[in-house]
Structure 1
Amino acid sequence: MKTDAAGAYVLHPQSITLNGCFRHNSDPRICTHKSSTRPGPLMYLMPPYSPSLSLAKIFSRGPLSDATDSFNQLRAQWRSPRDILAILTVIGGDIVQGALAQLCSSNPRHFTPVALSFGWVAYAFSAILAAIGSRRFAPDPDCPCTLIEVETKYPRDVHSWVLSRLVRDYTFPDEEPRGLTVSFYQTVPGKKMSVPDRDLVYWSGVIVIFLQLGIAVIPGALVGNWVIFILTLGGIVLVQLQASLPQWQKELWAGRKVDPKKPEVVCLTRGNGSAFAIVIRNNQPDGIRLSDMAAGREVLDSATVPATMILAMLWLIHLFCTAGLETDSWYSLAIGAIGMMQNAYASGTRRHWGALGIHVQKYREVHNKKVFLALKEAEEVERNVGIALTDIYFPGGLRPDEEAWKQQRISANMAHSATESSHPTKSSPSLQTVTSQQSSHATTPSTSLQTLISQQHSETKLSHPTTPSTYPPS
């Protein structure tokens, strides 16, 4: 029996008998068996073994063999998911950015409870783009709102992450959602603005970080694989370095200090159609002007750009080491999944205002099913609040009687402001001298300063008898 160039046997007619049987039946490479559907034997000729000849050249691959290979690959992937682990490391950067904006602590606290998760590599490189481009680490506000300065009545869009979250996380009172509710708050003395309180979100980050370290210890204790623990610990250190950049604090709390002699009163609202408005009286000596924060001032620390570049390279090295894990990849996958859940929870959950770094207490609240009546009641609590909000809630203008009330109220407020500016204060030596001279001379002419002040007081009461008497303590 001869073979051709490919190594297959070539049968000659003499090798088959008349009854269909092979003459060389003793050759083990020739298999014969009777067919039930056709006369004669079926012959399978097995070529001799050759390293350059594969079975794929002789037999076509069937669907069963393809399925077997696919299941083998799937089984190997589930045993050690290192490929998917490297892919997951570069997704979810926006979640990490939101978690950092929520939990970045102030300067006295150097620990930020943000867990290690999958999206840190993606965020590290996007931070470079933010540092050299927009110069803003914090994400764009996710709750569009407007801030109105009560004194100037000037509205501006809020570009501050903190103030937008303050409006988003506002707890609506028990009143009906119809009409308008105006809530009045005052800053708490003794609590510094920009120093957030510790809440459930803060402590959840602390717990998750220790849980991640505990999971990373398991393969080291069981099989002596301490690589996962080293990678986890290194990732947590990189997280703390990324969160401790001074750019975060300068950006989130960019603004001038409040003048104790001139408190700031602002209104926060989502605009026309919103069911609530927030009024904050900011008279904290070391407080930050909320109107400056709303502007979203551009700030940049000199160390931001080089620091973000160095951290991005370190995160890339961390990714290469993570992708090189051959065994026990499930532990790293579990650590990243737990961290991702904590980051998503910290980024999206609602928090009380103290945890955001703004410490205020409510002292009054008005509600009315009619928006204009609610604004009139708000004007009685805090001067110029109702006037400032009329342009927001009534952009098309007021009715004649409502416009008349507005103009009358504006005149009364201007007279009251002039009266307050004419009052002698302890911080003005010249006014103290004038007052002492008036007290020493009982027969002062009617044109004296004291007489002018009393006349202005009487004119103010006559022009507007309902002068507010429920102002908060300064």
Structure 2
Amino acid sequence: MFLPLPTPLAMNSATSSPTSDAIPSASEALREQYVRPGDVMSVLLILGADVVQRALAQLSGSPLTPVAFSFGWVTYAIGALLAAVGDNKLIPLPDSPGFVINSKSPYTRQNCSWILGRIIRDYEHWRHPKIRRMETEFLAKEGRIGLTVAIYTASRSKTAGVPDRDWLYYSGLLCAVFQLGIAAIPWAMWSDWSILMTTAIGITFAFASGSLPQWKVEKYQCRRNTDKTVILTRGNGHNNGCIVVIGDKVGLDLEDLAGGRRAEIDMTHTRVYTSIMALLWTALLIGVSGLKENPWFLLVIGVVGMIQNVIVCGAPRKPGAFGVHLEFVEAIVEKKVMKALQVLEEKYTDVGSALVDTYFPGGRLFPDEKQYWKKVDNERQAKLIAKLAKRAAQAAQASQVPQDSPDLQAPPAV
């Protein structure tokens, strides 16, 4: 059985029939992607988790942590869950080097506290204006500065561990209002409420993620009301980065804080909380990937939130914004580092000698310098011996029973 051969008319009609799955040209695909970006927002929600974590470290400590809804929250939520299960720690390590020195020990500790790292990093921004004037006058007279030491004391007028609310804190609230305003545009113009709902849910999740109580516990994991005198410094080579903080039985124990100890709390609540937030952020990611109309509004909202997060991460802040409230006492400015340490030692016992090994590692000093610090050490040893002898005498006196006690009187003669 033979089939008839196709005629030319039939061949032409077969080849010229239109197809429904024609591939668009490159220009059409590019134009369509810019009109409706597709899954770009869902991809961007995965990027930038480290920015979100640092922004939370900056603003946490209050009942409400206003870090804006932006890109990176989904990945951060998964990372926070892993940190709560594994490391038992949410706050990141400091991104600025520094040392904390106990003036009595003198023990030098590598700083592991986020807030102390930022206090040392932003010192040029928040230091007292009188220090700048002193340095300007000194430079005009001497030509160079060897070392500037700023003396601060813990404030008695403010509660340690309760941060001041600066413009960075309120920027998160203003950003949230601005984002909701942008999200309301498609609802008002085209009755598309999906962008507004997604933005409101994202802001709620962002504020809830930052308000976890463990953030505050980790941030201020130290003893309070200390009388320690500690020194914050970047080390040798930084001529104006030495800060002396006198505890005066108020404020935070900065040496404890520098240790970066893990929070001594039950992690069950944190693990459950972070697990729920990770699920909620994943559900939001799935919902965002299904939005096809007006996606540019959601992209703009994410960009605005990311700008706020980046500014919060990098902008300098005063110590009070971290809950470390300080009051300026005085500053010591000298042309030579050794001279500055000697003047500091004369005004504040043990503080200058605690910095000798930091600024002069190896102990290579001139003979007169060695003689000076040997004299200081001998005086310290003499005071310590006298103090111990006084304590021993007081203890011996307290242990003696009075001779005129009625119970120890001799019995009457018969």
- TM-score, length-normalised on structure 2? 0.84
Partner amino acid for 1:236? I
- Give me the whole-angstrom Cα distance separating, in 2, the residues matched to 1:306 and 1:55: 50
Report the alpha carbon displacement of residue 416 of structure 1 after superposing the two structures with TM. Answer: 4.3
Q: Is the 8 A contact 1:94 1:123 kept in 2?
A: yes
- Give me the whole-angstrom Cα distance separating, in 1, the residues matched to 2:53 and 2:381: 46
User: Which of 311, 330, 336 is matched with 1:345 structurally?
Assistant: 311
- The aligned runs of 1:5-24 (5 Å cut-off) are 9=8
Instruction: Quote the residue 2:276 is aligned against.
Output: 310
Instruction: Quote the residue 2:327 is aligned against.
Output: 361
Q: Is the 8 A contact 1:189 1:284 kept in 2?
A: no
Which protein is richer in helix relative to its size? 2
- Give me the whole-angstrom Cα distance separating, in 2, the residues matched to 1:298 and 1:306: 19
Partner amino acid for 2:65? T
Tell me if 1:115 matches 2:82.
no
Tell me if 1:278 matches 2:243.
yes
1:46/1:189 CA distance change after superposition, 3 Å: same
Relative CO higher for 1 or 2, CA cutoff 8 Å, sep ≥ 6? 2
- The aligned runs of 1:197-346 (5 Å cut-off) are 197-259=164-226, 263-275=227-239, 276-285=241-250, 287-299=251-263, 300=265, 301-346=267-312
1:53/1:225 CA distance change after superposition, 3 Å: closer
1:80/1:4 CA distance change after superposition, 3 Å: farther
Q: Is the 8 A contact 2:151 2:329 kept in 1?
A: yes
Partner amino acid for 1:270? R
1:278/1:422 CA distance change after superposition, 3 Å: farther
- Give me the whole-angstrom Cα distance separating, in 1, the residues matched to 2:257 and 2:172: 27
1:51/1:384 CA distance change after superposition, 3 Å: same
Report the alpha carbon displacement of residue 82 of structure 1 after superposing the two structures with TM. Answer: 3.0
Report the alpha carbon displacement of residue 354 of structure 1 after superposing the two structures with TM. Answer: 1.1
Partner amino acid for 2:235? G
Give the CA RMSD over aligned residues.
Answer: 2.9
Q: Is the 8 A contact 2:145 2:333 kept in 1?
A: no
Instruction: Quote the residue 1:76 is aligned against.
Output: 32
Q: Is the 8 A contact 1:118 1:336 kept in 2?
A: yes
Higher Cα Rg, which structure: 1
- Give me the whole-angstrom Cα distance separating, in 2, the residues matched to 1:422 and 1:219: 81
Q: Is the 8 A contact 2:66 2:210 kept in 1?
A: no
- Give me the whole-angstrom Cα distance separating, in 2, the residues matched to 1:111 and 1:80: 35
- Give me the whole-angstrom Cα distance separating, in 2, the residues matched to 1:221 and 1:284: 58
Instruction: Quote the residue 1:167 is aligned against.
Output: 120
Tell me if 1:185 matches 2:152.
yes
Instruction: Quote the residue 2:78 is aligned against.
Output: 125
Residue by residue, what CA displacement relative to the aligned partner does 1:398-436 show, whole Å, maximum 9, x if unpaired? 222212211211222344456678899xxxx999x9xxx
Report the alpha carbon displacement of residue 73 of structure 1 after superposing the two structures with TM. Answer: 1.0
- Give me the whole-angstrom Cα distance separating, in 1, the residues matched to 2:299 and 2:366: 64
- Partner-residue secondary structure (3-state), 1:49: helix
- Give me the whole-angstrom Cα distance separating, in 2, the residues matched to 1:210 and 1:133: 36
Report the alpha carbon displacement of residue 233 of structure 1 after superposing the two structures with TM. Answer: 1.1
Partner amino acid for 1:304? T
Moved runs in structure 1, 4+ residues, more than 4 A? 50-56, 416-424
Greater shift in the superposed pair: 144-153 or 191-200 = 191-200
Residue by residue, what CA displacement relative to the aligned partner does 1:135-181 show, whole Å, maximum 9, x if unpaired? 22112211111111001100010000000001000026432574111
- Give me the whole-angstrom Cα distance separating, in 2, the residues matched to 1:216 and 1:402: 68
Partner amino acid for 1:233? A
Q: Is the 8 A contact 2:94 2:113 kept in 1?
A: yes
Greater shift in the superposed pair: 210-219 or 413-422 = 413-422
Report the alpha carbon displacement of residue 332 of structure 1 after superposing the two structures with TM. Answer: 0.8
Q: Is the 8 A contact 1:179 1:369 kept in 2?
A: yes
- The aligned runs of 1:388-399 (5 Å cut-off) are 388-397=354-363, 398-399=365-366
Q: Is the 8 A contact 1:188 1:284 kept in 2?
A: no
1:418/1:217 CA distance change after superposition, 3 Å: farther
User: Which of 5, 9, 12 is matched with 1:47 structurally?
Assistant: 12
Q: Is the 8 A contact 2:111 2:117 kept in 1?
A: yes
Partner amino acid for 1:342? Q
Residue by residue, what CA displacement relative to the aligned partner does 1:236-263 show, whole Å, maximum 9, x if unpaired? 111121111121111111112234xxx1
Partner amino acid for 1:350? P
**Structure 1 unaligned blocks of 5 or more:** 10-28, 30-44, 57-64, 434-474
Count of residue correspondences: 376
- Give me the whole-angstrom Cα distance separating, in 1, the residues matched to 2:173 and 2:347: 43
Residue by residue, what CA displacement relative to the aligned partner does 1:190-211 show, whole Å, maximum 9, x if unpaired? 3111211111211211211111
Aligned-residue sequence identity (percent) comes to 38
Q: Is the 8 A contact 1:258 1:264 kept in 2?
A: no
**Structure 2 unaligned blocks of 5 or more:** 399-414
- Give me the whole-angstrom Cα distance separating, in 1, the residues matched to 2:106 and 2:212: 36
